[in-house]
Amino acid sequence: MGAEAQPTAGIAGGPSAPEESLCRRCGRCCCRKFILKDRVYYTPFFCKFLDPGTRLCTVYAERFRANPHCLGVEAGLARGVFPGDCPYAAGHSGYRAPVEDLDFFGLGELAREIAAELEVSDEEFARARRGQGGSSGGGER
Ligand code: SF4
Ligand code: SF4
């Protein structure tokens, strides 16, 4: 299909380390993503460890063990997974932020294929589609 699933990234919920004090806890970097033609795209599906209400990581202290795809700041910047207005992306000249405003469900069958590659269940797919416009909403993996 030409689309490649990409790991989640995120530091949502980092309460103490100085490098993490910039986080606004928006949770957007904790969505699952895909790459198409060298661009990173956000999907409406979120890491199962992100609390959709608080936008905090529920396994923060052990997030890299709980989710081997979770990336820290440096790796996340290198992979271009933080949104353009994330404080960690600020000041990185040439940083190419992911596409956030994609009409994901408008992709039709490709959306299904990407979701399958990201191991999104039919239930989660349907739930996200019902709430579309809500890429800021939570989800489970
Ligand atoms: S996108 Fe940036 S501000 Fe939002 S949760 Fe991720 S690291 Fe924090
Ligand atoms: S484990 Fe999931 S929710 Fe927690 S920081 Fe990583 S991507 Fe975000």
Every domain of the chain and the residues it spans: 3-130
Q: How close are the terminal C-alpha atoms of the chain, in Å?
A: 22
pLDDT at 104: 96
Which residue in 40, 47, 31 sits closest to 99, CA to CA?
Answer: 40
Residue 10 has pLDDT above 80, yes or no: no
Task: Report how far Cα 38 is from the mean position of its chain's Cα atoms.
Answer: 17
Residue 140 has pLDDT above 50, yes or no: no
Quick check: CB of 70 below 6 Å from ligand 1? no
Give the whole-number percent of the chain exceeding pLDDT 90. 52
Distance 126 CA to ligand 2 centre (A): 22
**Among the atoms of ligand 2, which is closest to the Cα of residue 63?**
1
Quick check: CB of 89 below 6 Å from ligand 2? no
Lowest mean pLDDT among 15-19, 100-104, 126-130: 15-19
pTM confidence score: 0.83
Which ligand does the CA of 9 lie closest to?
2
